[in-house]
Amino acid sequence: MSVTAYIALGSNLDEPEQQLHSAVAALEQLPKSKLLAVSPYYQTKPVGPAGQPDYINATAAIETTLTPIELLDALQAIENSHGRVRTIRWGARVLDLDILLYGDETIESERLTVPHREMSWRNFVLIPLADIAPDITFPTGQSIKKLLQNIDRKGIERLSDSLVTEA
């Protein structure tokens, strides 16, 4: 059975906008999956160690029959193919792909937590997610509309219009 999964995309190294374009193309090629929508791109201030360049962020929706771990493995393979190196937590990165939501599932495992732990207070996740899923309610019962009322909108700038909208 297929589910809709939402994925956060981010990059702040090696031409970040191009990294996201390439990641979207890779998402279109995921097995057992169909890319449904990609939010506009946003330039955002980094979270984590000081001195990093700004990020380019977006979110994507896919319909997939991949299991959550299969999807995680596929996303990490895309990150690795872009030269992702995991050294400093919240450090600068070529590409970051995170599963935000996987249908209505709540997942707590050693490798994966869904809904994503920090998504409910990150403007660079919620604002692009609202662009492609404005009426979504998370498995926790929180609506994106309610969460958007409480986030800081400073430090985020919309750069582009939607790339894909088929949902």
Residue at token pair 């660079």 = 124
| Distance from the Cα of residue 104 to its chain's centroid | 17
Is 38:133 a contact under the CB 8 Å cutoff? no
* Tokens 């929180």, residue located: 142
Choosing from 84, 86, 111, 135, the catalytic residue is: 84
> Three-class SS of residue 157?
strand
Is 96 a residue of the active site? yes
Phi, psi for 143 (deg, rounded to 5)? -95, 150
* Residue in 14, 73, 89, 98 annotated catalytic: 98
Check if 98 is active-site: yes
Indicate which residue of 14, 86, 96, 153 is catalytic. Answer: 96
Catalytic hit among 54, 93, 135, 161 = 93
Query: What residues are annotated to the active site?
Result: 84, 93, 96, 98
